[in-house]
A and B are shown apart, each in its own frame.
Chain A
Amino acid sequence: MDCYTANWNPLGDSAFYRKYELYSMDWDLKEELRDCLVAAAPYGGPVALLRNPWRKEKAASVRPVLDIYSASGMPLASLLWKSGPVVSLGWSAEEELLCVQEDGAVLVYGLHGDFRRHFSMGNEVLQNRVLDARIFHTEFGSGVAILTGAHRFTLSANVGDLKLRRMPEVPGLQSAPSCWTVLCQDRVAHILLAVGPDLYLLDHAACSAVTPPGLAPGVSSFLQMAVSFTYRHLALFTDTGYIWMGTASLKEKLCEFNCNIRAAPKQMVWCSRPRSKERAVVVAWERRLMVVGDAPESIQFVLDEDSYLVPELDGVRIFSRSTHEFLHEVPAASEEIFKIASMAPGALLLEAQKEYEKESQKADEYLREIQELGQLTQAVQQCIEAAGHEHQPDMQKSLLRAASFGKCFLDRFPPDSFVRMCQDLRVLNAVRDYHIGIPLTYSQYKQLTIQVLLDRLVLRRLYPLAIQICEYLRLPEVQGVSRILAHWACYKVQQKDVSDEDVARAINQKLGDTPGVSYSDIAARAYGCGRTELAIKLLEYEPRSGEQVPLLLKMKRSKLALSKAIESGDTDLVFTVLLHLKNELNRGDFFMTLRNQPMALSLYRQFCKHQELETLKDLYNQDDNHQELGSFHIRASYAAEERIEGRVAALQTAADAFYKAKNEFAAKATEDQMRLLRLQRRLEDELGGQFLDLSLHDTVTTLILGGHNKRAEQLARDFRIPDKRLWWLKLTALADLEDWEELEKFSKSKKSPIGYLPFVEICIKQHNKYEAKKYASRVGPEQKVKALLLVGDVAQAADVAIEHRNEAELSLVLSHCTGATDGATADKIQRARAQAQKK
């Protein structure tokens, strides 16, 4: 414990920097690092080495080898490089390896050396070759910037959504800039380049010369520049061995340092922690590593081996042939606790806990001291926080133990921060393991989020670990376990040496009915690998038939798709398949398919009714559905056709169809309608007026109203209108005309088939009591009382009712007896009733 701070190096008064080993590497490099193109992904990502690059004048016959290792040096992939010369390597945010070739082509490889895709940086680049390239990360993704042989820059801010931007020319630039870098400000990527003593900033519109404020004089050239991880700070190394540090906007100087080494450093990177006031850059030469900041002295390390620096969010990783180390500023909480002779509450608590374990009463003294100052809560928090920043599980444990010990003396300390820290550390320790090789720090992990970390584990095909983490953290299945299983299954279907049955069974066994797993996605992947049969087998497991359909269509199993779509009950889906089928099959086959699927058929019919009437006809034709064909033509006869000839023709077709359907009734009716139409046409020609489209009934009525009684009767005979209906018709029409004379004549033409009560009613309706009375006398005995009452002859109604000895009629009359006038009648009825009862 005493030597715990042994690897702490002070920089200035307020900050300590420490360097500790992450892994000892046994990656068995054949070549020196300096002979390779090296790219290491941030956030403890993989390392790519391309050996034997072309810059050396070596025998071109030897093909170089591209090796990919985990951060702990475990080999992930190794492949012979068969394409053109590579200028630069870099990792994208999705951990894809981007290899920029001299001809401007960028090849994209997966973590396991699998070729993904390639794209080009444009023709101009192709002609002028690539001099230098940088891969950079922004919040939108990963970008590529290229310096061409013509000393022009081209960049794409996001390789996922490739948009090439050619930067403006730097006036008077004759040779390659001594150094350059990509700056990201206000979500736009700029390029900062140094030419001799001048600095230029290129944005997509212009090139402007810039001067860093407070730059020491005498600079004739810039040898290195470095941008911080968050693009906030910039460091410049000049040929005078002078380092300028300031904001990336070049508006403010933070500090400067003169190291008096004039040799160009191999690498210079920022080493700072988020939310820390300390700024420092790490500069590496062949054998020397220097940490400089806002202090007169610098920290110096000797490098035994060829090393490579990887900037991280909160520090710098340094790896060489044999080791992999992490250099960072000691976080505040750790500093408070471990600083020599620290009296911070956390330090005291750690001490108290240790004494407690030793069963010493000193524990109580320490505890009291903290409590007296009222800093116990703070102490616990400090210990928890510091535990997060420790790399060694032992130290994590003792700090957490101290926190837990302190917690006992607190009343209401919310437990989640403690619990969450324990969980996080467990996850971190698991992924930092040598075999996994993702040396994330706590801050990096928080920045990355657990979802991304899981994605990265999946990417490394570490499915079991990912699932265990999900289960341990109790992530919802849909985001966690299911997603990982789905990825696993997608990987599984790519194993071509296993038979379809085995793969399908294995996948189903593992996945079962896990919620959130989409079998159709897995099937789509299988289909993508050319395993159609496997895809169909997998689709069988898909519970949602709706999900099966699109893929089935893609695989050209349209008929199966149709039945699945119908099963799903989703009409939109059925429709999708139908239209697909319609284009795929010839008309006959299409109709045959429809025929077996009534639901699809009616759906398609509905559509045709509005959009494709001709198709509808064909559909009926093909089914020999004459009834519907008839209906179709009838509809056409009044909806589609304008001319009378066309309408009659349509009706004729309809009638023929009805005969074929053995629907003689409909056929006859249709033929009658044809006759009627022709007749109406003639009537219009001869009599004028509007007859077309009237119903038979209305036609006759119109004729009567127009005074054409003869014609009306003729029409009625021709169309065999039943007597009763004709009588009603004439009665209504004549009453409307108020042609009482004609009405009387008509009533006497023969005995009325509808009786004479309607005559009375209609006269009363037209307020003609006089005429009504004429008919009242002729009303048959059953309805006589009603008729008499209608014309208002209560007395006579009473007589008739008494004569009929009908109780119902008597009460009806009685109810009509009102006032004094009918008093006598009422008495009469009462008497008759009494009499009837006596008998």
Chain B
Amino acid sequence: MAFPHRPDAPELPDFSMLKRLARDQLIYLLEQLPGKKDLFIEADLMSPLDRIANVSILKVRSLSLRSCPSFLFEQLCFLVRPRIKNMRYIASLVNADKVAGRTRKYKVIFSPQKFYACEMVLEEEGIYGDVSCDEWAFSLLPLDVDLLSMELPEFFRDYFLEGDQRWINTVAQALHLLSTLYGPFPNCYGIGRCAKMAYELWRKLEEEEDGETKGRRPEIGHIFLLDRDVDFVTALCSQVVYEGLVDDTFRIKCGSVDFGPEVTSSDKSLKVLLNAEDKVFHEIRNEHFSNVFGFLSQKARNLQAQYDRRRGMDIKQMKNFVSQELKGLKQEHRLLSLHIGACESIMKKKTKQDFQELIKTEHALLEGFSIRESTSYIEEHIDRQVSPIESLRLLCLLSITENGEPKRLQMRIYGPEHLLTFSNLRRAGLLTEQGPGDTLTAVESKVSKLVTDKAAGKITDAFSSLAKRSNFRAISKKLNLIPRVDGEYDLKVPRDMAYVFSGAYVPLSCRIIEQVLERRSWQGLDEVVRLLNCGDFAFTDMTKEDKASSESLRLILVVFLGGCTFSEISALRFLGREKGYRFIFLTTAVTNSARLMEAMSEVKA
């Protein structure tokens, strides 16, 4: 049932090279410190590391792996993200050793790069001379054949909230690496401030080292850079495509998911790698959830039929069957039962929370009708204290789609630190403010009636000038994001990208990409760009020489700065199938609505 690619769809480049590069560099770095050593690996780096190097590889290099501070050997190696917090931790260890009179060799390997601020902290803590520093430029992890992740979830908060631009350089370097390995990109498009900065930095890098990529045949014809804040709406919606739903429910971490006992129907949890190699998953990952069950049961029947063929086989055939097919069948069987378990578990959870109602509300918000009902649904949601993250998400969705700010009384019921969360959301543009002079929308007046505290005024924080107004409604109309549906939308045979949201909404980000690719420029989209508040940050850059093969011109690298969701990936995969493109995704991290909200909330230390 999975849609096969068109026969003329281009081949994807081989990204396993990136893994090899990273692994070799790590081994090289570790060998710089000969002899036995303790290796301290930051928790966040554990999963990405696991994806490129088996722990066994490290063991072969005579390392003792431990993550607790009771170290054995005279050499200590830290593999960390460049965070000040980590530096302080390392400093405390080193200083404790000093007090105890122990002398050891320390080495800090920063991934993906070293920041001066980190060295500063080491210096301030007085241990700069005691440690040696190195960089492990591991910035691109291929999670799947078409998905590269930088595994930098903090990018979102650091850039969109704190205005910290240091990761942009990392992005530029990652792009530079890609272009050295896979040839230059003849056509570049982008939207968003960060996209533009990353692009310019990357160009600068290319210029400094020119000659290397020149004359190489491009393998990837287009690159599209997109800031997350261009489209928050899509990221805020509940996902209903299988992969997205698994992410929302179980949290996919670094391409693998921990299925708990309720899924595995045994007493232990199981870590499952979710990618194109899982044949069952590969077929259902992009499907709307309503189809998945049907598909799985069909599959189960097929499997059974194949098992049944055993009957009536003679010995020779049986031998053949056991040696060749059985293993594959068994494997498939195992995966199938896992995914069925996952589906059941999802169903259980989703019906409990009145999932249908929730989806209905979201769709109403996207389409812009029955705002009153939606608002009271959200109100009830808050009153019932279902989950603060979920409530925040709905509030943001309401605020962006209606371009208005609902009142924030509910803050109190979730605790005082959410006062800061709200200020964060506003600063990042997830909660928008009505411009002065705007008439109160129906929601606004409705909300203020519901609210007892009439004194609630507007927050005029220092960033009000930066706070963006959302023009979602107008953009939606311009880009035709809400498909006209006559009768039922057939989710089995999707017509457009809207299927990822049950046919109610075409993801804005994907629509922009589609439109730009169609026109090969931003021409004719001026109004949309203006409405997105990205007037100065939409760009196109084409190289004149036409060395690109038609094959490569149908390969498109989409770069999401600040994260992308599985729904967006599914939607673009669908678009690719329709138009004969192949999309490659590069994201700072795979995200979803809950992760966005968590990044914005202030948690108690």
B517 interfacial contact with A, CB 8 Å: no
Q: What residues of chain B lie closer than 8 Å to A719, measured between beta carbons?
A: 412
A634 pairs with B164, CB closer than 8 A: no
- A812 interface residue per 8 A CB criterion: no
Instruction: Please state if A515 and B383 are interface contacts (CB–CB under 8 Å).
Output: no
A631 CB–B CB distance under 8 Å:
yes
Residues of A within 8 A of B452 (CB): 720, 722
Distance from B356 Cβ to chain A, minimum over Cβ atoms (Å): 12
Chain B residues contacting A670 (CB-CB under 8 Å) are 416, 419
Shortest A224–chain B CB gap in Å is 49
> Which 9 residue pairs spanning A and B have beta carbons closest together?
A602-B163, A571-B166, A697-B413, A627-B461, A610-B84, A572-B116, A695-B415, A725-B383, A673-B416
Which of B115, B124, B162 lies in contact with A602, CB distance below 8 A? B162
Q: A544-B208, A720-B452 are in contact. Are A638 and B417 (CB under 8 A)?
A: yes
Specify which chain A residues have a CB less than 8 angstroms from the CB of B459 in the assembled complex. 627, 661, 663, 665-666
Whole-angstrom CA separation of A666 from B559 in the bound complex: 38
Chain B residues contacting A666 (CB-CB under 8 Å) are 419, 423, 459
Please name the residue on chain B nearest to A598 by beta carbon.
B163
Known: A571-B169, A635-B602. Is A663-B420 also a contact (CB below 8 A)? no
Contact for A696 among B163, B197, B412, B420, CB less than 8 A: B412
Given contacts A572-B115, A627-B462, 13 further A-B pairs with CB under 8 A are A571-B164, A575-B117, A606-B158, A607-B84, A611-B84, A631-B419, A637-B416, A638-B604, A663-B458, A664-B455, A664-B456, A673-B412, A694-B415
The chain A residue with its CB closest to the CB of B172 is A569
Does B398 count as interface, using CB distance less than 8 angstroms?
no
CA distance A732 to B383 in the complex (A): 11
Contact of A627 among B84, B201, B423 (CB under 8 A): B423
Q: Does A623 contact B (CB under 8 A)?
A: yes
Judged by a CB distance under 8 angstroms, whether B85 is at the interface is yes
B385 within 8 A of A: yes
Q: Is A617 an interface residue (CB 8 A)?
A: no
Q: Contact between A634 and B417 (Cβ–Cβ < 8 Å)?
A: yes
In this assembly, does A67 line the interface, its C-beta being within 8 Å of a C-beta of chain B? no
Question: Cβ of A668 < 8 Å from any Cβ of B?
Answer: yes
Q: Is A452 an interface residue (CB 8 A)?
A: no
Chain B CB within 8 A of A599 CB: yes
* Chain B residue at minimal CB-CB distance from A638: B604
Q: Which residues of B contact A809 (CB under 8 A)?
A: none
- Cα distance, A651 to B384, chains bound together (Å): 28
Nearest CB on A from B49, distance (A): 24
Which A-chain residue is minimally distant from B208 (CB atoms)? Answer: A544
Taking a contact as CB atoms closer than 8 A, the residue among A607, A628, A694, A724 that contacts B461 in the complex is A628
A719 vs B410: C-alpha distance in the bound complex, in angstroms? Answer: 12
CB distance from A832 to the nearest CB of B (A): 25
Give the chain A neighbours of B458 by CB distance below 8 A: 663, 665
> How far is B84's CA from A603's CA once the two chains are assembled, in angstroms?
13
Q: Give 1 or 0 for each of B459-483: 1 = CB within 8 Å of chain A CB.
A: 1111000000000000000000000
Within 8 A of A (CB), among B523-580: none
A634/B120 contact (C-beta < 8 A), A515-B210, A611-B84, A722-B452 known: no
Taking CB atoms, residues of chain A closer than 8 Å to B42 are none
B305 at the interface (CB under 8 A from A): no
Contacts of B124 in A (CB 8 A): 611
B397 within 8 A of A: no
Bound Cα distance A627, B380 (Å): 30
Residues of A within 8 A of B364 (CB): none
Residues of A within 8 A of B420 (CB): 631, 634-635
Smallest CB gap from B211: residue in A: A515
A593 interface residue (CB < 8 Å to B): no
User: Which of chain B's residues have a CB closer than 8 A to the CB of A754?
Assistant: 380, 383
A-B contact pairs, 14 of them (CB 8 A): A599-B163, A602-B164, A603-B164, A607-B117, A611-B121, A638-B416, A661-B459, A663-B458, A669-B411, A670-B419, A697-B412, A697-B413, A697-B414, A728-B383
List CB contacts (< 8 Å) of A535-562 with chain B. Answer: 543-544
- Contact partners of A575 in chain B: CB under 8 A: 115-117, 120
Q: Which residues does chain B contribute within 8 Å of A634, judged by CB atoms?
A: 416-417, 419-420
Across the interface, which residues of A come within 8 angstroms of B88, CB to CB?
610
B→A interface (CB under 8 Å): 84-85, 88, 115-117, 120-121, 124, 158, 162-166, 168-169, 172, 197, 200-201, 204, 207-208, 210-211, 379-380, 382-385, 408-409, 411-417, 419-420, 423, 450-453, 455-462, 602, 604-605
Instruction: Provide the main secondary structure of the chain A interface.
Output: helix
Tell me if A251 is interfacial: C-beta within 8 Å of chain B. no
Q: Which of B172, B197, B460 contacts A662 (CB 8 A)?
A: B460
CB-based contact A672/B412 at 8 Å = yes
Contact partners of A631 in chain B: CB under 8 A: 419-420, 423
Q: Which has the most chain A C-beta neighbours within 10 Å: B200, B210, B384? A: B384
Collect the chain A residues with CB atoms within 8 Å of residue B413's CB: 695-697, 725
Say which residue of B169, B408, B453 sits within 8 Å of A569 (CB atoms): B169
8 A Cβ contacts from A448-466 to B: none
Set of chain B residues within 8 Å of A576, measured between Cβ atoms: 116
Within the complex, what minimum Cβ distance (angstroms) separates B167 from chain A?
9
- Known contacts A662-B457, A663-B460, A728-B384; is A606 also within 8 Å of B419 by CB? no
Q: Does A579 sit within 8 A of B, measured CB to CB?
A: yes
Contact partners of A724 in chain B: CB under 8 A: 379-380, 383
B162 and A606 within 8 A (CB): yes
Question: What distance in Å separates the Cβ of A438 from its nearest Cβ neighbour in chain B?
Answer: 32
Return the contact of A570 from the options B120, B169, B208, B417 (Cβ within 8 A).
B169
Q: Which residues of B contact A603 (CB under 8 A)?
A: 164-166
- The CA-CA distance from A791 to B211 in the complex, in Å, is 76
Q: Are A623 and B417 in contact (CB under 8 A)?
A: no
A606 CB contacts on chain B under 8 angstroms: 117, 158, 162, 164
Chain B residue numbers with a CB within 8 Å of A635 are 417, 420, 602
Interface string of A622-657 (1 = CB under 8 A from B): 010101100100110111000000000001000000
Residue among A544, A571, A572, A625 making CB contact with B462, cutoff 8 Å: A625
**Interchain CB contact (< 8 A) of B408 among A544, A637, A665, A725:** A665
Contact of A623 among B158, B460, B462 (CB under 8 A): B462
**A569-B201 contact, Cβ under 8 Å, with A603-B166, A627-B459, A664-B455:** yes
| Contact present for A639 and B412 (CB under 8 Å) | no
Q: Known: A572-B115, A638-B416, A697-B413. Contact between A664 and B457, CB under 8 A?
A: yes
Q: Determine whether A605 belongs to the interface, using a CB cutoff of 8 Å to chain B.
A: yes
**A838 CA to B174 CA in the complex, in Å?**
70
> Given A661-B461, A663-B457, A720-B453, A571 and B416 touching (CB < 8 A)?
no
Question: How far is B382's CA from A696's CA once the two chains are assembled, in angstroms?
Answer: 13
Closest to A579 in B: B120
**Nearest Cβ on chain B to A640's Cβ, whole angstroms:** 9
Contact mask for chain A residues 566-592; partner B; CB cutoff 8 A; 1 contact, 0 none: 001111110110010000000000000
Check if B115 sits within 8 Å of A569, measured CB to CB.
Answer: no
Q: Closest residue of chain B to A570, judged by CB?
A: B169
* A731, closest chain B residue (CB): B384
- Chain B residues lying within 8 Å of A661, measured Cβ to Cβ, are 459-461
Rounded to whole Å, the gap between the CB of A565 and the closest CB of chain B is 11
CA distance A637 to B383 in the complex (A): 26
Residues in chain A near residue B456, CB distance under 8 A:
664-665, 668
Q: What's the Cα separation between A664 and B380 when bound, in Å? A: 25
A415 to chain B, nearest CB (A): 25
Task: Give the residue name and chain of the A residue nearest to B385 (CB).
Answer: A697
Bound-state CA distance A421–B380 (Å) is 90
- Are the CB atoms of A669 and B208 closer together than 8 Å? no
Closest partner residue, chain B, to A700 (CB atom): B413
Alpha-carbon gap, A672 to B210, bound state (A): 61
Contact indicator per residue, chain A 128-171, by CB within 8 Å of chain B (1) or not (0): 00000000000000000000000000000000000000000000
When the two chains form the complex, which single residue of A598, A639, A673, A695 contacts B605, counting CB atoms closer than 8 Å?
A639
Residues of chain B contacted by A694 (CB below 8 angstroms): 415
Collect the chain B residues with CB atoms within 8 Å of residue A722's CB: 383, 409, 450-452
A568 — which chain B residues lie within 8 A by C-beta? 204
B116 touches A605 (CB 8 A): no
